[in-house]
C-alpha cells in the first residue's frame, strides 16, 4: 500500500534505514536529488505541490504550489523544475539559505508533462501533441490529434 513516504536505503547493507513522510504532499510521482546541497525535490499530485526535503534528516524545507498532474522534476543550475499536464513548467529556487520560492511559472502546452533536460545547453524538452475536445462523461483523457506530435523547447532568454 502506498504510504506517500520516502524510504532511505543503505545500498551496501541493502536495507531501509529510515522512512520520511512526504506530507504535506501526496501522490508523489517525480523526484530529483541535489546531492551537493542535500535536497530532494518531489513532485506531488494530491495536493499539487513541489516538496523540498533535506536529505540529511528528511525535514520538509518547503512545499510549493505547482500545476495540475505533475509528471517530472529536474534540477539544473540550482533551480528545480516541475512539468505538469496543465501546460505549466514551475521553476523553483533557493532565494536565500534554506528559503525556497517559485521564481517563475512558464506557460508551455497542455499535455507537456514528461521532461528531458540537457545539462550542457540547459534546455528543457517537453513532448506533447494537440488534443481532441474531451467527450462528455469520458473517464479517460482526450485523444491526441493524429500528426500533431511536437517537442516544446524551453530555454533561458539570451539576456540572462
86-95 mean pLDDT: 96
Query: Is the pLDDT assigned to residue 97 strictly greater than 90?
Result: no
- Angstrom CA distances, 111 to 69, 82, 126, 151, stand at 9, 13, 9, 11
Query: Is the pLDDT assigned to residue 148 strictly greater than 80?
Result: yes
The pLDDT assigned to 134 comes to 82
CA–CA separation, 60 and 67 (whole Å): 20
Residue boundaries of the structural domains of the chain: 5-154
CATH superfamily of 5-154: YVTN repeat-like/Quinoprotein amine dehydrogenase (2.130.10.10)
5-27 mean pLDDT: 92
The pLDDT assigned to 98 comes to 84
Query: Is the pLDDT assigned to residue 123 strictly greater than 90?
Result: yes
Query: Is the pLDDT assigned to residue 106 strictly greater than 90?
Result: yes
Taking all residues of the chain, what is their mean pLDDT, rounded to a whole number? 93
The pLDDT assigned to 3 comes to 82
Confidence of residue 114 (pLDDT cuts 50, 70, 90): very high
The pLDDT assigned to 152 comes to 98
The pLDDT assigned to 159 comes to 64
Q: What is the DSSP string of 103-137?
A: EEEEE--TT----EEETTTTEEEEEE--BPPPPTT
Confidence of residue 138 (pLDDT cuts 50, 70, 90): confident
Better pLDDT: 134 or 2: 134
Amino acid at each position: 500500500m502506498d504510504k506517500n513516504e520516502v524510504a532511505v536505503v543503505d545500498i551496501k547493507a541493502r536495507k531501509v534505514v529510515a522512512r520520511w513522510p512526504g506530507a504535506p504532499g501526496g501522490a508523489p510521482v517525480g523526484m530529483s536529488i541535489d546531492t551537493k546541497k542535500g535536497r530532494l525535490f518531489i513532485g506531488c499530485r494530491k495536493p499539487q505541490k513541489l516538496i523540498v526535503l533535506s536529505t540529511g534528516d528528511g525535514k520538509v524545507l518547503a512545499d510549493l504550489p505547482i500545476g495540475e498532474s505533475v509528471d517530472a522534476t529536474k534540477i539544473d543550475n540550482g533551480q528545480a523544475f516541475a512539468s505538469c499536464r496543465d501546460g505549466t513548467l514551475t521553476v523553483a529556487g533557493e532565494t536565500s539559505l534554506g528559503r525556497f520560492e517559485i521564481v517563475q511559472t512558464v506557460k508551455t502546452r497542455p499535455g507537456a508533462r514528461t521532461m528531458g533536460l540537457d545539462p550542457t545547453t540547459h534546455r528543457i524538452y517537453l513532448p506533447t501533441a494537440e488534443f481532441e475536445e474531451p467527450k462528455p462523461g469520458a473517464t479517460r483523457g482526450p485523444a491526441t490529434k493524429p500528426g500533431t506530435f511536437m517537442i516544446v523547447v524551453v530555454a533561458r532568454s539570451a539576456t540572462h
